[in-house]
Structure 1
Amino acid sequence: MSPHPLAPPAPHDLVWLDDPASALARAALPAWVSLPALDDTPLVVRRDRRRPGEIPVGLRGRTRAERFGTWIAPSAIRMVVTPMELAARRAWRLRPELMALPAIRLLDAIADRLDDAGIHWGVAGSAGFSLACARNVLHADSDLDLLVNADRPLAASHLKLLAELQRAAPVRIDIQVATPYGGFALLERLRSGGRVLLKTDHGPYLCDDPWQPSPCKS
């Protein structure tokens, strides 16, 4: 786990607050939010830069309907864990109680293949959240969310492996690809042949090349 970094945390990173009550004092929190629980439960960094100088974060409750987005000051962050750190240290092998879950069994089965291929990947979504703290939000039907960092277009061999995993895995895999300009769903690009909805810090828009984005004309 990393202490508060010099650079702002990236979307999908998990952050812990030094003093949750103070950090969220200006937010109109929903009733399901437990400030004491946030002492050891992370928030998820979002894509939203409407407040320059602040970090957009999301809080999650016990159900899918319990989601709340807000902003915090960078100085409020005590610790950061990235999806890539969870993958690199094989965090699931430290949580034997989760190994019975299909998403975690699949994660263990494909991790070495992803590393051997040279793909820069991490664990995101419910799996990443559950591996980073003591609170498990996974269940038997949970998808496996992966994040692939790609500063340049993915190599053909990487696309082939990732497409194969999405097609053949016994658990649904949701692979998000993060470019310098935003993130997109790999499955969408595979189905369209290129065009994707790129999620950026300033909102989503359709583009043909997420590494050299310009809005689609139609």
Structure 2
Amino acid sequence: MRVCAVAPFAPDDAAASADPRWQAHDILRLHRLEAFDNEPAWVRDAFSRAPFVVVRRAHVAPGFVAAGVRGVARNERYGTWARCDDIESVVKPEALLSASTRSADRRALPALVVLDALRRDSSSTLDAFAWGPTGSVGFELATFTPTVTSTSDLDLLIRTPNRFPCDEAQRLQAVLDSHAMRAGIRIDAQLETPAGGVALVEYASGKARVMARHASGPRLVADPWARVHAQAGL
């Protein structure tokens, strides 16, 4: 986030374990967005145009969710806080695989063409996971607000609650790279692991440690699934 509002709760009231109903990258429709001091001027216009926010990773207090507002410009990103009572509905990335834009012209944009190709590509192994688009593609499909451009990346979230072998990750990355090359755009896939969000390309590289994005902040981990396996006695 380029700018972030000061939390409307005491630090001692915040916890890393947020309400499980909302997860990072979920898109929430709000009937009200509370304003805070030093809010950028563009935020009210953006929210009136599309009353949606994207769940972000941060410590929160009960009754709140960490959220991000998207503006029109690439640098218009605002981290804020929404009250759970103001949430009308939630759309998860995996629910967007069956969604489509209302315009044929929009569907012809490279990022949306690639998403459609991945839906139909059985060689990608994505069908083995819950997965879906995030970023500009996810936002447009969820809100019907034109957000994708001809140069937009395709951002993906892949839920991997169980260990994902590195060799399988490498094969999946190769498939994504092939689609990206044909379309002339980037595909940025993130694995949602017990340790947080991990970039597929980084994990597939075989590094000894990878960066996991967590509510507590980014951290280097050797095994994003270690906690689950430890709890299971494996």
TM-score interval (norm. to shorter): 0.7 to 0.9
Residue of structure 1 in register with 2:175 after alignment: 165
Task: Assess if the C-alpha contact under 8 Å between 2:170 and 2:204 holds in 1.
Answer: no
Structure 1 residue 116: Cα displacement: 6.7
Q: TM-score, normalised by structure 1?
A: 0.83
Superposition TM-score, scaled by structure 2 size: 0.78
Pick from 144, 152, 155: which aligns with 1:145? 155
Q: Say if 2:101 and 2:140, in contact at 8 Å, map to a contact too.
A: no
Alpha-carbon RMSD across the aligned residues, in angstroms, is 2.3
Q: Which residue of 1 aligns with 2:55?
A: 45
Q: Distance in 1 between matches of 2:163 and 2:126?
A: 19
The number of aligned residues is: 203
Q: Could you say which residue in structure 2 is the equivalent of 1:58?
A: 68
Q: Report the AA paired with residue 189 of structure 1.
A: Y
Percent identical among aligned pairs is: 34
Whole-angstrom CA distance in 1 between matches of 2:62 and 2:86: 15
Counterpart Cα distance in 2 of 1:178 and 1:194: 18
Alignment of 1:11 onto 2:24? yes
**What SS does the corresponding residue of 2:115 show, helix, strand or coil?**
helix
What secondary structure, in the 3-state scheme, does the structure 2 residue paired with 1:33 have? helix
Matching residue of 2:214 = 200
1:31 is aligned to 2:41: yes
Does the 8 Å contact 1:183/1:198 carry over to 2?
yes
Cα distance, 1:119 vs. partner? Answer: 2.2
Residue type at the aligned position of 2:201: L
1:108 aligns with 2:109: no
Inter-partner Cα distance in structure 2 for 1:188 and 1:26: 36
Q: CA deviation at 1:41?
A: 3.3
Q: Are residues 1:71 and 2:84 paired?
A: no
Q: 1:184 aligned to 2:192? A: no
Aligned to 1:97: 105
Q: Which amino acid aligns with 1:17?
A: L
**2:130 and 2:159 in contact (8 A); partners too:** yes
Tell me the residue number matched to 1:216.
Answer: none
Unaligned segments of structure 1, at least 5 residues? 1-5, 214-218
Q: Which amino acid aligns with 1:131?
A: L
Q: Is 2:64–2:82's contact at 8 Å kept on the other side of the alignment?
A: yes
Q: Matched residue of 1:79: which SS?
A: strand
Of 188, 191, 197, the match for 1:174: 188
What SS is found at the alignment partner of 1:80?
strand
Instruction: Name the CA distance, whole Å, in 2 between partners of 1:95 and 1:86.
Output: 16
Hey, what's the Cα distance between the residues in 1 that align with 2:160 and 2:143?
27
SS in 1 for 2:220: strand
Q: Distance in 2 between matches of 1:146 and 1:201?
A: 19
CA distance in 2, matches of 1:116, 1:178: 14
1:84, distance to aligned residue in structure 2 (A): 0.5
Contact 1:47 1:200 in 2 (8 A): yes
Structure 2, unpaired ranges of 5+: 1-18, 228-234
Structure 1 residue 155: deviation in Å? Answer: 4.6
